Structure 1
């Protein structure tokens, strides 16, 4: 059975797995089909076959298979007459990856009459999906903006719940509607499918996958040397905005392998669960459980690790998790073995102020613009994209927001940053704001999510610390301020700043993204570990 969405014809009860939109089918269906997205001016839709939904461009130059079988968020890629690159471009555009929520989603047709008509709201089709996942009705409605996001986390996107039914706007990605995936899952699929490595050992490093207290990890073990009883170790947590990448991708696989070889150390790379499968605090819990499990004496003995020579480390969102885990471990009175070091690579450490000098200076910097970082935070907290603008102008931490008052002194960049970083930038502090933002997302002030806001008593317990920052990075000041707060608390800190590097550069050391900035930062990071671990 194949059903075609028509603006004027309700579908009644049609199973989602049988539902499709296809503007490349023969008449008369073509007249009744309703394309929601355009690719290079041409409509794009779905066509079903053999239990799969196939994404087609009308000329069938590119085909993509998004599996809807068995509830698996799996995807397969099949090249048709078009190139693999074209297929990727189509899927990336269709998924709406990293788009600014303040602008219409990619490929969404404009309202009739053209944009900008005075007082004319944008037209949006609304799909109503019953509780059992069946399409109940389709109504054409006028809305001025995206629909309010509801509490269901299983289908992230722009939707709301009304009378027990889920409503989605046309600017919601079609993959959400089909419940095949979230746009971050599609992006992560692209990253991992073309980059994921199996657990293959080399002559020098033994690479195995294991489970630590229910959390997947990948362990890199160098060969034993004569007269060597115990090795040092690094627990590494990968970055990716709590939503992307994997310990198994070649970028992180290569980094951890080189660390294991260069340091002659056992490296444990944590494969924590990602957004949107789970949101905060589950990523933190995964990283904490895996690390705490590894720190047990019997586990360390199994891997021949010296309990006194263990570091915890991570980059970007992984640096956030590493810092938060390190803080939590330091407060665990029952823990007998603790990390000797922490090494944080351009970490994201706060969501209190999105107008620090580095956020203002690098607001449109490629790789990680400010609005993308705000979107990562919203996704991490399972929040509403409509809050993005309020967060951007610091409405959530205005002077009249009582919940934020006690934290303001812990993140005063005018006193924590050197003048060379402050330059001529001015603080953005709202007099009146929106206290309801903190009420809706209390995790904005939760130190497990924002380690920079931790109290001084916790910072005093932290181990010797290395923090790497890059000038061309919105997160530069997060790392610099954390280094200063740790230093003020009596912790020995090395701040390693690179004037000509950018966010994420350290993992780009293999072809075709083998940048000198990556080699430079990686070598400096490993050198510090080698000298201090």
Structure 2
């Protein structure tokens, strides 16, 4: 995507706008075998959503439901692109569930915390009893889910919902697909192991973070070597124990990698970008009391993914807090694979992970 960066350099447009335009232009909406699913676009508390409804059956009562938040580095893709449109159609059909796909605003139009606010507003609107009744949804059988950056937003939304004492309906489950959950340590074993892995190399993930929290690319190297969370950065000290991968990861993940901890770093980075330690942006840094309030959780991770350890550490912390957790790890899969199930990107890894994810939802929702 060198052309996108050239356009950005020449100040003709932001490179992410150009990249998203190219994605949507080349995206051909491919039909899948779920012709009976009703698809409607709506607005939930000012946020656009796409709703997928399976047909009503004669003696059927209320349906299950999934609120789905798409990935794309908080900057790319859409609920309307074929990749997510098809995923949500298949989910609605396979689960006989109402699926609400959230069309949150993207970088560079908005930055953190607006994506989080969009996802939270849309979800809370849907959880209102009268709205659930309108869509014939069982209030006791709702899941919050998302992949990658959408998994980040789903986890953050779930944490906030657990703190809302006035919420009449709460999600039964959360399901996070290779979620991005922290910007504290860019040298976890999976970040080191997969730093140059296609689809999502480490420098690309760091740039997504910089765009999301409205930072400057000049800080990329500082983040890469963990200068923002060095031992002399006072704001980071209280969070260090919550992200100690040496105690949270299994030996098969840790391998022979060593922690990268700077004794002296740059405290001004966190002062300039406080979102780096804001749990609404980095759900893995939440305290134990918040984690203990989370619903039954599914976390899918892939071996060939810089974000593998984000998901594994979150699963470990949730389990230690007493939350029932399923960590579904795929040794031969890569970041983003679940949405690549339609020709010409019909990867077996995508079908394998999607089927496992839907199976868990079907058994637990």
TM-score range, shorter chain: over 0.9
Q: CA separation in 2, counterparts of 1:290 and 1:462? A: 19
Q: Give the CA deviation at 1:197.
A: 4.5
Structure with the bigger RCO (C-alpha within 8 Å, sep 6+) is 2
Q: CA separation in 2, counterparts of 1:272 and 1:510? A: 24
Distance 1:199 1:289, change over 3 A: farther
Kindly report which structure 2 residues correspond to 1:180-219, keeping only aligned pairs within 5 A, or say none: 181-195=13-27, 197=29, 203-219=35-51
* 1:310 has 2:142 as partner: yes
Q: CA separation in 1, counterparts of 2:342 and 2:88? A: 13
Deviation string, structure 1 residues 39-90 (Cα, Å, up to 9, x no partner): xxxxxxxxxxxxxxxxxxxxxxxxxxxxxxxxxxxxxxxxxxxxxxxxxxxx
Residues 206 and 223 in structure 1, CA contact (< 8 A), matched pair in contact too: yes
Residue from 376, 394, 399 that aligns with 2:231: 399
Residue from 405, 411, 427 that aligns with 2:259: 427
Residues 201 and 208 in structure 1, CA contact (< 8 A), matched pair in contact too: no
* 1:437 has 2:269 as partner: yes
Kindly report which structure 2 residues correspond to 1:266-345, keeping only aligned pairs within 5 A, or say none: 266-345=98-177
Distance 1:358 1:200, change over 3 A: closer
Q: Give the CA deviation at 1:221.
A: 0.2
What is aligned with 2:328?
496
Aligned length: 365
Distance 1:398 1:413, change over 3 A: same
Q: Give the CA deviation at 1:198.
A: 11
Residues 189 and 254 in structure 2, CA contact (< 8 A), matched pair in contact too: yes
The SS at the match of 1:228 is coil
Residue from 244, 253, 274 that aligns with 2:85: 253
Residues 201 and 207 in structure 1, CA contact (< 8 A), matched pair in contact too: no
Which ranges in structure 2 are unaligned for 5 or more consecutive residues? none
Q: CA separation in 2, counterparts of 1:470 and 1:215? A: 31
What RMSD over aligned residues (CA atoms) do the two structures have, in Å? 1.6
What is aligned with 2:9?
173
Residues 217 and 268 in structure 1, CA contact (< 8 A), matched pair in contact too: yes
Q: CA separation in 1, counterparts of 2:30 and 2:214? A: 31
Deviation string, structure 1 residues 74-113 (Cα, Å, up to 9, x no partner): xxxxxxxxxxxxxxxxxx43212xxxxxxxxx6xxxxxxx
* 1:95 has 2:34 as partner: no
Q: CA separation in 1, counterparts of 2:81 and 2:262? A: 42
Residues 105 and 118 in structure 2, CA contact (< 8 A), matched pair in contact too: yes
Q: Give the CA deviation at 1:527.
A: 0.2
Residues 349 and 452 in structure 1, CA contact (< 8 A), matched pair in contact too: yes
Residues 246 and 271 in structure 1, CA contact (< 8 A), matched pair in contact too: yes
Deviation string, structure 1 residues 478-501 (Cα, Å, up to 9, x no partner): 000000000000000000000000
Residues 196 and 248 in structure 1, CA contact (< 8 A), matched pair in contact too: no
Residues 8 and 14 in structure 2, CA contact (< 8 A), matched pair in contact too: no
Q: Give the CA deviation at 1:195.
A: 1.7
The SS at the match of 1:336 is coil
The SS at the match of 1:298 is helix
Q: CA separation in 2, counterparts of 1:191 and 1:460? A: 39
What is aligned with 1:155?
none
* 1:485 has 2:321 as partner: no
Q: Structure 1 or 2: larger strand share?
A: 1
Kindly report which structure 2 residues correspond to 1:227-266, keeping only aligned pairs within 5 A, or say none: 227-266=59-98
Runs of 4+ in 1 over 4 A off after TM superposition: 196-202
Distance 1:330 1:318, change over 3 A: same
Distance 1:198 1:282, change over 3 A: farther
TM-score (norm 1): 0.67
Greater Rg over alpha carbons, structure: 1
What is aligned with 2:288?
456
Residues 199 and 209 in structure 1, CA contact (< 8 A), matched pair in contact too: no
